[in-house]
Amino acid sequence: MLDINLIRKNPDLVRENLRKKYQDHKLPLVDEVLELDATFRATKTKADELRGQRNTLSKQIGVLMGKGQKAEAEAVKAQVAAVAKELADLEASEEPLQQEIRQRMLMIPNIIDPTVPLGKDDSENVERYRVGEASTKPFEIPYHIDIMEKLAGVDLDSARKVSGNGFYYLMGDVARLHSAILSYARDFMIDKGFTYVIPPFMIRSEVVTGVMSFTEMENMMYKIEGEDLYLIGTSEHSMIGKFIDTILEEDQLPYTYTSYSPCFRKEVGAHGIEERGVYRIHQFEKQEMIVVCKPEDSQKWFEFLYTTTVDFFRSLDIPVRVLECCSGDLADLKSKSVDVEAWSPRQQKYFEVGSCSNLTDAQARRLQIRINGKDGKVFAHTLNNTVVAPPRMLIAFLENNLNADGSIAIPEALRPYMGLKTVLTPKK
């Protein structure tokens, strides 16, 4: 959420930001906020005047009563009653006005970083760089589900009966591989100095609206019927919510966490869930990075976070590239974002396996996360980034480590988590 002072002082900047994000349909929101804000401020000013008038008149009543001028005192009491009624009416309108302003402010996107490339959608994202050789293999690579099935590692048919499309049973070596990757990711981040956290997997609505836009919420979140609780779509949601309504001491920053959680997503707008794949699913697990820091440090942390993901994938010999997300591909709360994509030898292209975002103070304003610094209180900056999100990452892992005989090579870094196995072999 933006600072209301920015809209008051520089509404043209906010309008231009909307145009850069190709959200012209939201342009009327700026004028609506300005109009409502002017009404609110006028109401508040008038209410303050009436409070002063009421206090002055109340003092007169005591003076008049002391002089025995009861009739005059009664007349002033009537004036006080009239003022009190008018004041009550104004006070009753203040909160609804504030809510109207907030609802519109929540729909206005964060100001994008000046370095963000302009573009309408993800087709116009800009490649930053590649790491690792995007090679081919001298044999045909099966679809990832076929690879898993030969390892007796997945059962989609049973999952479809139990839960529907978009769910899966991982089994045997593939399930162990899935857990091993998460355990390795946890230790990888701990070695980077991050604190490991397992957060709540459900959050209240005030946290949901604090960490994401209405559009994201509708497309992603599962609501718990009859309760003010939502299943998280990523541990970032509950990790940032951890700081709601807090004042952080500057000398304690930054807070750097790596959190594990299951993730639940409706995947609305995904044009259907693949029946024979684990790329786009309703349930998965993820290791995340979260940083809460001083405003002047957020760009430095942004660079550190996504390069850490690149280092993680390269430690498993998976080629990756980094894409800069264009303006039209940024979610409303994001100021800047990059996607990390892994190489698919089967498809001969890269596909997304993680996303890193700097949200500047957008979440902090919504959740009232402030820093008590030497120059006063300021809103914190928040960042998040995917370390790894299997089973999607398993697709890249299996394809890149597949041998001609159908076996899967285990990179050295992962072997301690796989019982020192060096290879997974197909089952009869």
Mean pLDDT across the chain, nearest whole number?
Answer: 93
Residue holding tokens 């008149």? 57
Q: What integer pLDDT is reported at residue 51 of this predicted model?
A: 86
The answer to whether the CB of 402 falls within 8 A of the CB of 146 is no
pLDDT band for position 274 (cuts 50, 70, 90): low
With cut-offs at 50, 70 and 90, classify the pLDDT of residue 268: low
CATH number of 4-105: 1.10.287.40
Q: Would the CATH topology of 4-105 be identical to that of 122-424?
A: no
Tokens describing residue 9:
């002082």
Q: What confidence score (pLDDT) does residue 71 get? A: 86
Half-sphere exposure of 218 (CA within 13 A, CB side): 4
Quick one: pLDDT at residue 98?
93
Question: What are the tokens at 305?
Answer: 């976070």
Q: Which residues are CB-contacts of 216 (< 8 A; sequence separation ≥ 6)?
A: 331, 332
In this predicted structure, what is the pLDDT of residue 81?
Answer: 87
CA distances from 26 to 9, 187, 382 (A): 19, 44, 25
- Which region among 15-24, 118-127, 369-378 has the lowest average model confidence (pLDDT)? 369-378
pLDDT at residue 329, as a whole number: 96
Report the percent of the chain where pLDDT is more than 90.
Answer: 79
What pLDDT, on a 0 to 100 scale, did the predictor assign at position 276?
A: 67
**What is the band of 10 on the pLDDT scale with cuts at 50, 70, 90?**
very high
Ramachandran bin of 258, using left for φ above 0, alpha for ψ from -120 to 50, beta for the remaining angles: beta
87 contact partners, CB below 8 Å, separation of at least 6: 47, 50, 51, 54
Q: Are the C-beta atoms of 384 and 338 separated by less than 8 Å?
A: no
Q: What is the mean pLDDT of residues 215-224?
A: 88
Residue whose pair of structure tokens reads 């303050």 in the numeric block: 48
Q: Give tens-digit pLDDT for 32-50.
A: 999 999 999 999 888 888 8
Residue 191 clears pLDDT 70, i.e. is over it: yes
Instruction: Give the pLDDT band (50/70/90) at residue 153.
Output: very high
C-alpha angle 119/123/125, rounded to 5°? Answer: 60
148-152: which pairs have CB atoms within 8 A and are 24 or more residues apart?
Answer: 148/174, 148/278, 148/394, 148/398, 150/406, 150/426, 150/427, 151/408, 151/424, 151/425, 151/426, 151/427, 152/427
Q: Which of 21-30, 72-81, 118-127, 166-175 has the lowest mean pLDDT?
A: 72-81
With bands split at pLDDT 50, 70 and 90, how would you rate the model's confidence at 252?
very high
Q: Where are the domains of the chain?
A: 4-105, 122-424
Burial of 316: CB neighbours in 10 Å, binned 0-12, 13-18, 19+: buried
Q: What is the dihedral of CA 406, 408, 409, 413, to 10 degrees?
A: 170
In this structure, are residues 260 and 182 in contact, taking their beta carbons and an 8 Å threshold? yes
H helix intervals, 106-224: 144-150, 156-162, 172-191, 205-211, 214-220
CB 366 within 8 A of CB 391: no
List the single range of 264-268, 336-340, 341-345 with lowest mean pLDDT.
264-268
Residues in the chain: 428
Q: 170 — phi, psi (to 5°)?
A: -95, 140
- Looking at 3.40.50.10490, 3.30.470.20, 3.30.930.10, 2.40.10.480, the CATH number of the domain 122-424 comes to 3.30.930.10
More confident residue, 45 or 293: 293
The model's confidence at residue 221, banded by pLDDT at 50, 70 and 90, is very high
Amino acid type, 345: P
Q: Residue 229 has which token pair?
A: 């609780």
User: Is the predicted pLDDT of residue 227 greater than 70, yes or no?
Assistant: yes
pLDDT computed for residue 428 by the predictor: 67
Instruction: Look at residue 253 in the predicted model and tell me its pLDDT.
Output: 97
If you average pLDDT over residues 193-197, what whole number do you get? 98
The residue-averaged pLDDT of 66-89 equals 85
Paired sense of beta strands 255-264 and 195-197, if any: parallel
| Lowest-pLDDT range of 12-16, 71-75, 243-247, 327-331 | 71-75
